[in-house]
């Protein structure tokens, strides 16, 4: 987080966006705000103890605020104890868009590349179904994140994650010429398409929570439904939609991670492995990048509670290279 230090004891001040906020009750019976604050440099959990709505005001997700408080370690990660908080004012001269972490590449250039690849498919059924889904969802795809809190949870993160997997798939197919490259790339493009309905996302491109459908079904089942609906509307009678549905349903690999079924053909297995690889590398880079040289990060629950080591042998500021 890009806060301004006010002393040498962790007191900081700055502007940030509220990513999530909940009113909770402490063990003493007092109300407090449990918040996730974010800017382009990262995010931090924050607590406003002894919260009084009349004194402190009300706050909601995606609101830009100014805070002052003390940063200290808690359970292996930094936490901000808020002393003061207020909504921003026009006189502050700040723009919410400047505080949202954004993919390096623009939505337009990533969408154009994905659509161009789909448009070039020799398999007519793959081309029709992927192009139709991309066309109908273009506006959301330009800024949608790939997650609420975990990997690629940034503006444009969904297409950054998607195109990253496509690039990995293209490399894999050079090594394994027996892989159906068009099926694998089509699966990569569509595997997370239902995240467009799974999350509630603000205009800034930051997810504020899960939709009712997202909570009840999840994006794997929803993605299979999307493919089935488009296949019927387009009159596709081959087994192509079935293969794409299986990729959607199996891309988390194991039932314990949400997969409805395990991958049952090569392209589905590859997509699952590449999806896991891209998400984990992104999360590891984020964690290690904010860790001092020669030190360990806090425990990352999404990485099996591992602590990650920063060996400092490479420049972690370098971004994913897609073009």
Whole-Å CA distances, 254 to 63, 135, 245, 251:
37, 31, 16, 8
Cα 29 from chain centroid (whole Å) = 35
pTM for the complete prediction? Answer: 0.80
Neighbours of 18 (CB within 10 A): 23
Q: Which class is domain 4-88? A: mainly beta
List, in sequence order, every beta strand (DSSP E) within 165-211: 199-201, 207-210
Residues 6+ positions from 193 with CB-CB distance below 8 Å: 133, 137, 219, 223, 226, 248
Exposure string (b/e) for 236-275, b if CB count within 10 Å is 16 or more?
beeebbebbbbbbbbbbbeeeeebbeebeeebbbbbbebb
**Tens of pLDDT along 136-195?**
999 999 999 998 877 888 889 999 999 999 999 999 999 999 999 999 999 999 999 999
Domain boundaries of the chain, sorted by first residue: 4-88, 107-284
Region class of 50: left (phi > 0), else alpha (psi between -120 and 50), else beta: left
β-bridge pairing 4-5 and 31-39: unpaired
**Which of 14, 33, 36 minimizes the C-alpha distance to 22?**
33
Res. 262: pLDDT tops 90: yes
Quick check: 181 and 243 in contact, CB under 8 A? no
Domains 4-88 and 107-284 share a fold: no
**What tokens appear for 176 in the block?**
């394994």
**pLDDT score at 150:** 76
List, in sequence order, every beta strand (DSSP E) within 26-140: 31-39, 42-48, 64-74, 77-87
**Tens of pLDDT along 38-72?**
888 888 999 999 999 999 999 988 888 999 999 99
CA–CA distance, 63 with 44 (Å, rounded to integer):
15
Per-position DSSP letters for 296-309, written without gaps between them? BPPPBGGGTTB--B
Q: What is the mean pLDDT of residues 276-299?
A: 91
Fold exhibited by the domain 107-284: Hypothetical protein af1432 (1.10.3210)
Res. 110: pLDDT tops 80: yes
pLDDT interval class at 132 (50, 70, 90): very high
CA–CA distance, 96 with 38 (Å, rounded to integer):
11
Quick check: 169 and 181 in contact, CB under 8 A? yes
Token pair 């030190």 is at which residue?
295
98 versus 58: the higher-pLDDT residue is 58
CA–CA distance, 103 with 282 (Å, rounded to integer):
12
Helix (H) or strand (E) holding 25: strand 11-25
**Tens of pLDDT along 204-251?**
788 888 999 999 999 999 999 999 999 999 999 999 999 999 999 999
Q: Torsions phi, psi of 15, nearest 5?
A: -100, 145
Quick check: 31 and 23 in contact, CB under 8 A? yes
CA–CA distance, 128 with 300 (Å, rounded to integer):
41
Res. 1: pLDDT tops 80: no
For the chain, give the mean pLDDT: 93
């Amino acid at each position: 987080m890009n806060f301004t230090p006010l002393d040498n004891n962790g007191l900081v001040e700055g502007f940030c966006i509220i990513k999530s906020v909940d009113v909770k009750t402490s063990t003493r019976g007092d109300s407090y705000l449990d918040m996730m604050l974010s800017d382009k440099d990262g995010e931090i959990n924050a607590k406003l103890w002894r919260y009084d709505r009349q004194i402190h005001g009300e706050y909601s997700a995606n609101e830009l605020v100014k805070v002052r408080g003390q940063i200290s370690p808690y359970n292996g990660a930094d936490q901000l104890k808020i002393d003061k908080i207020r909504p921003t004012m026009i006189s502050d001269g700040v723009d919410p868009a400047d505080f949202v972490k954004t993919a390096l590449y623009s939505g337009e250039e990533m969408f154009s590349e994905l659509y161009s690849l789909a448009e070039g498919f020799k398999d007519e059924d793959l081309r029709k179904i992927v192009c139709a889904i991309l066309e109908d969802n273009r506006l959301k795809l330009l800024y949608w994140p790939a997650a609420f809190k975990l990997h690629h949870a940034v503006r444009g993160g969904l297409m950054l994650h998607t195109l990253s997997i496509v690039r990995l798939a293209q490399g894999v197919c050079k090594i394994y010429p027996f892989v159906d490259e068009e099926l694998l790339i089509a699966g990569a493009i569509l595997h997370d398409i239902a995240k467009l309905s799974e999350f509630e996302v603000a205009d800034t491109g930051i997810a504020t929570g899960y939709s009712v459908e997202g909570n009840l079904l999840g994006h794997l089942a929803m993605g299979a439904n999307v493919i089935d609906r488009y296949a019927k509307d387009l009159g596709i009678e081959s087994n192509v939609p079935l293969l794409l549905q299986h990729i959607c349903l199996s891309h988390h690999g194991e039932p314990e991670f949400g997969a409805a079924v395990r991958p049952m053909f090569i392209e589905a297995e590859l997509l699952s492995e590449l999806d896991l690889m891209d998400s984990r590398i992104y999360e590891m880079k984020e964690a290690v990048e904010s860790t001092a040289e020669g030190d360990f990060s806090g425990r990352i629950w999404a990485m099996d509670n591992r602590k990650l080591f920063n060996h400092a042998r490479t420049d972690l500021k370098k971004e994913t290279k897609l073009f």
